[in-house]
Amino acid sequence: MHNTWVTFVISAAVIVAMVWLYLEVPKGFVPNEDQNRISISTEAEQGVGFEALKERQNILVKIIQKEMPEIDAFLSRCGGGGSSSSNSGNINITLKTKKERKRGAEEIIADIRKKLSNTPGIRVFVQNPPPIQIGARGGKSQYQYTLSSPDTAVLYKFAQAAEIRMNKLPELIDISSDLQISTPEVDIELDRDQASKHGISIGQIENVLYGAYGTRQVSSIFAPDDQYKVLLEIEPSKRGTPEALSLLYVRSDTGQLVPMDMLIKRKIVAGPQSVNHTGQLPSVTISFNLRPGVSLGQAVDAINKDLSPLFPAGVSGSFQGTAQAFQKSMKGMNLLLILTIFIIYMVLGILYESFIHPLTILTALPFAGFGALFSLWLLKIDLTIYAFIGLIMLVGIVKKNGIMMVDFAIEARRKGMSPEDSIVQASVLRFRPIVMTSLTALMAGIPLAVGTGLGCEARQPLGVTVVGGILFSQILTLYATPVFYVWMEKLQTFLKPRTSDRTAN
């Protein structure tokens, strides 16, 4: 109480430091958890055959079985089905429980990524499946950035350049794209003149091609306990070569067998495996993961900064899934925090019938905010949605210190005590309940901050925020709040005569 200006300078410094920390602390969304699961997506070159893809993926499986003693079970599949394309696959791994293994999921992922990255002929994308899957669009990596445009030529050209630029960003790893426009295709053009000359219809040619490469059922085998379909197809060893078309014959109306090569013209071209759309527009989605130690906020800022100046006319870009939800949540959480403080101010204003003393009570909030953000920064923990919940909880926990002191001091003022004496007496008499309630909240938050139990990775930011905010605010508010109370009382005394004069006039 005898060094009020020192208190003012320290408080101002804390507010400035709190703002700096808020801008400096990395922003995240939902922390990854060790759920005893690892997901691996694979991708071979475009146009690869199923047998070649299966052979390369089996090499990955052997490495995983040899190098991962923590594995409990796994499922490997490739080439269609659950995969997004015929040249990709995935391996879903179930790990042993945390008690049965020495390494965490992130350590295992970092190790297996290095050991699988040198496998020839196939790319590997390893990720820890997120605890909350947001968005219907998936990818080989956890986060997605989508480019769209009505002009596919401009879109595909820029998408390839954007993928190269993103590969150079130090914040990102496992860059992949769903743009696959170099898939080898056999373009068949029917020679209608030759077909007509031999008395062969277009339908007959299509019928032969479907019999060779389609799924025509020609019979059924009935077993005692099951039924099997018999499908007609060309010999599997010859299905993967365009030259196999020369082995096909079409029977004309006269019964003559005419070689397929006489009826068609074929050429090998490169075409898109699929044309993806977002809404009504063609689109390309680039997926990415974060390097260890990089937050989602840092990655989003890096992508926006690097790609924004390069966009050609007609092409737009936006984040999808988790990255998109992160951008929206940051705006919403900031607004929610401001709204929480405003509502508490209004309630306290109604309770004390004053616009001044609610500010006195809320003076503890900057100290709590600084303590929470400093703890996150010190422990290198991202400001995630759980940490934001901790900040909102701190508003309710910390303001009770000010309420205990200010409420007692106001009652003492009504009995004729000076502002200095009333707040000093309030601080002394309310010291024990303030400390007891703060210690209760502190002890409840320590297990969360330490990170014990299932799902501890998600709850830890919440615990660190609460514990750090309570510790710092508990130390300083007992000194700062009395000083602000005396200043506010003097301000209220100064304003009262002026308000009375205006009312009289």
Rg over alpha carbons for the chain, rounded to the nearest Å, is 34
Of the candidate ranges 11-20, 122-131, 460-469, 491-500, the one whose mean pLDDT is the lowest = 491-500
Question: How far is C-alpha 414 from the geometric centre of its chain's CA atoms?
Answer: 55
Q: Over the chain, what is the mean pLDDT?
A: 83
Mean pLDDT of the region 245-250: 86
- Please indicate, yes or no, whether residues 58 and 87 belong to a single structural domain of this protein: yes
Q: Can you give the residue range of the structural domain that contains 249?
A: 183-271
What distance in Å separates the CA atoms of residue 405 and residue 357, rounded to the nearest whole number?
11
pLDDT greater than 70 at residue 452: no
Q: Categorize the per-residue pLDDT at 221 as very low, low, confident or very high, splitting at 50, 70 and 90.
A: very high
pLDDT greater than 70 at residue 364: yes
391: which strand partners? none
Q: 141 lies in a domain? A: no
- Please indicate, yes or no, whether residues 58 and 13 belong to a single structural domain of this protein: no
- Please indicate, yes or no, whether residues 24 and 57 belong to a single structural domain of this protein: no
Q: Is the alpha carbon torsion for 472, 475, 479, 481 positive or negative?
A: positive
Of the candidate ranges 59-73, 389-403, 442-456, 477-491, the one whose mean pLDDT is the lowest = 442-456
Q: 408 lies in a domain? A: yes
Structure-derived torsion over alpha carbons of residues 259, 260, 266, 271, reported in degrees to the nearest 10: -150
Of the candidate ranges 107-111, 236-240, 302-306, 334-338, the one whose mean pLDDT is the lowest = 236-240
End of a domain among 238, 255, 271?
A: 271
- Please indicate, yes or no, whether residues 383 and 485 belong to a single structural domain of this protein: yes
Q: 156 lies in a domain? A: no
End of a domain among 208, 243, 271?
A: 271
Q: 276 lies in a domain? A: no
CA 393 to each of CA 13, 366, 466, 472: distance values in angstroms, whole numbers, following the listed order: 24, 14, 7, 15
- Please indicate, yes or no, whether residues 66 and 125 belong to a single structural domain of this protein: yes
Between 504 and 201, where is the model more confident? 201
- Please indicate, yes or no, whether residues 193 and 63 belong to a single structural domain of this protein: no
End of a domain among 255, 271, 287?
A: 271
- Please indicate, yes or no, whether residues 434 and 453 belong to a single structural domain of this protein: yes
pLDDT greater than 50 at residue 126: yes
- Please indicate, yes or no, whether residues 25 and 46 belong to a single structural domain of this protein: no
- Please indicate, yes or no, whether residues 238 and 257 belong to a single structural domain of this protein: yes
Give the number of residues written for the chain. 505
Q: 421 lies in a domain? A: yes
The whole-model pTM stands at 0.76
Are 460 and 448 a contacting pair, CB within 8 Å?
yes
The pLDDT assigned to 502 comes to: 52
Structure-derived torsion over alpha carbons of residues 146, 151, 153, 156, reported in degrees to the nearest 10: 0
- Please indicate, yes or no, whether residues 223 and 359 belong to a single structural domain of this protein: no
Q: Total domain count for the chain?
A: 3
Q: Categorize the per-residue pLDDT at 451 as very low, low, confident or very high, splitting at 50, 70 and 90.
A: low
What distance in Å separates the CA atoms of residue 40 and residue 112, rounded to the nearest whole number?
10
pLDDT greater than 70 at residue 83: no
Q: 167 lies in a domain? A: no
- Please indicate, yes or no, whether residues 237 and 104 belong to a single structural domain of this protein: no
Are 90 and 97 a contacting pair, CB within 8 Å?
no
Of the candidate ranges 7-11, 23-27, 83-87, the one whose mean pLDDT is the lowest = 83-87
Of the candidate ranges 67-76, 358-367, 482-491, the one whose mean pLDDT is the lowest = 482-491
pLDDT greater than 70 at residue 82: no
Of the candidate ranges 43-52, 78-87, 311-320, 470-479, the one whose mean pLDDT is the lowest = 78-87
- Please indicate, yes or no, whether residues 250 and 353 belong to a single structural domain of this protein: no
Q: Helices (DSSP H) in 379-418: which residue ranges?
A: 385-414
Percent of the chain with pLDDT over 70: 94
Between 168 and 473, where is the model more confident? 168
The CA-based angle 212-217-220, given to 5 degrees, is 140
Q: 146 lies in a domain? A: no
Are 257 and 241 a contacting pair, CB within 8 Å?
no
Q: 499 lies in a domain? A: no
The pLDDT assigned to 80 comes to: 63
The pLDDT assigned to 138 comes to: 65
Query: The domain spanning residue 259 has which CATH number?
Result: 3.30.2090.10
Mean pLDDT of the region 249-262: 86
